[in-house]
Amino acid sequence: MAFIGLLLGEQLDFPGEEHQRLSPVDGSSLRPWTEVEPGVLDPLITQLKTLNLSAEADLKARSAALLQLASDLERDSASLARLITMENGCPVAQSVGLQVQSAVALIRSLVEQASEFAFTEERAGARGGKVRIDRLPIGVALGIVPCNVPVFLACLKLTTALLAGCPVVLKPSPENVDSMALFSRYLARMDLPTGAVNLILGGRVLGDHLVRNDVFRKVSFTGSSASGLAVAQLCAQRFARVTLELGGKSSAILLDDVDFTEVKDQLWLAMLQNNGQVCGAQSRVLIPKSRAPELRTALSEMFEDTVVGDPRSPETGVGPVVTAEAANRIRNTCNEASNQGALLLSGTREESQESATVPPRLYEVQDSVAEIWNEELFGPVACLRVYETEDEAVGWANQSRYGLSGSIWSSDTNRALLTAELLETGTVAVNSKKILDFAAPFGGWGQSGIGRELGEDGFRSYLETRTILLP
């Protein structure tokens, strides 16, 4: 049976065009999904306007419901992770932690943070008297979730919205129909007012329709920069608040004192985790000229030694990307890179166009002309470039229309920090694959997005502010 979603506590059952989806892993049939006529859902969505959750009132009840969701996810993490592996190719050795356990930890962290968040505060007024500041739920929120880490990002958006007191509708990718069908069962069991959490599966047509709907006073979108621009324009037309977490082309700067053996495992994950299908993947790696031969060889061997194959095997490091079409886009960019002078250090160009698997590729570029240096590929491909000075490396890292993440790799943390402070990007990690922390604001500069998720900044993005001037 086709899956549509969960709205106002009921499984949706509407006629529409049914779509089949094949797994990129083995070509087997995944659960179909139905693209309903978007306007059919409007009367139900409009009912969400009447749902008033309040920011502080019943916060404990919403927190308890979220903690139960976390427990459900933790209990079934292996099953849910396997479904995601079959949908987007994430190797099973990574999928339990990256796809599910990270969501469990996220929920628990945000619940704890919300218990300490000041929804109301008083301060002395600059003109005498007192000032009371109330932070109130903005209203119904829409969360649009991509296919690469569907459960984690769905939990990020729904948890933040609920804790702020906002009913939420999630619109995941149709690439994740099996995992979202299972996920919706957990949502249906949450002890919350009817309509507090909803999920509607659909494609671009549905997403566009929902973003235009004035029921949604806040839109949180994660996806490509091109799609994010369209979302921002639609939200601007009706003065809806919007948070955009978009693409990236992040740089890993290896300083000349780096101990490659010590950081190798973390660096590999930073570059190739989830088959490179990570918005903050470190797809540029900058190495010092003084150690270029050694590090070039070490990086090439790291790519060559990666086990490529069936993501259901625990030995596999890189599996297929989400679709054969996505794989061919990556291949085409790689072929064009070779025509533009990029040197292939590791990987092969001989692959079936029907396969969704792209073996890891490492290129060396001499300048910033090649598209492979400038554009997000969302696959297991990275570019190497040799710098002469750290200032040059920083300049190249900042030479991008994106600014989502970055990383510094060094044996001297203090030295790494000084370099990190020069990067024009939302997050910088030192000797770590991490691109975010649950308690810290996460988002991008430039075309990597606007607004922030996580931490206090994340809660505030779902709250309106009212100031009361007291005598």
Among all residues, which ones are annotated catalytic? Answer: 245, 279
Contact (Cβ atoms closer than 8 angstroms) between residue 81 and residue 96:
yes
What span, in angstroms and rounded, lies between the C-alpha atoms of 117 and 454?
A: 13
Query: Which residue, 119, 131, 122, 133, is CA-closest to 54?
Result: 119
Residues 6 or more apart from 135 whose CB is under 8 A from it?
55, 118, 119, 120, 460, 463, 464, 465, 466
Helices (H), ranges, 165-291? 177-188, 204-212, 225-237, 260-272
Owner of token pair 């990718």: 173
Q: How many CB atoms lie within 10 A of CB 18?
A: 11
Query: Which residue, 48, 50, 84, 444, is CA-closest to 210?
Result: 48
Contact (Cβ atoms closer than 8 angstroms) between residue 330 and residue 357:
no
Q: How many CB atoms lie within 10 A of CB 280?
A: 26
What span, in angstroms and rounded, lies between the C-alpha atoms of 155 and 170?
A: 10
Strand 361-364 with 381-387, pairing: parallel
Residues 6 or more apart from 445 whose CB is under 8 A from it?
402, 403, 404, 424, 425, 426
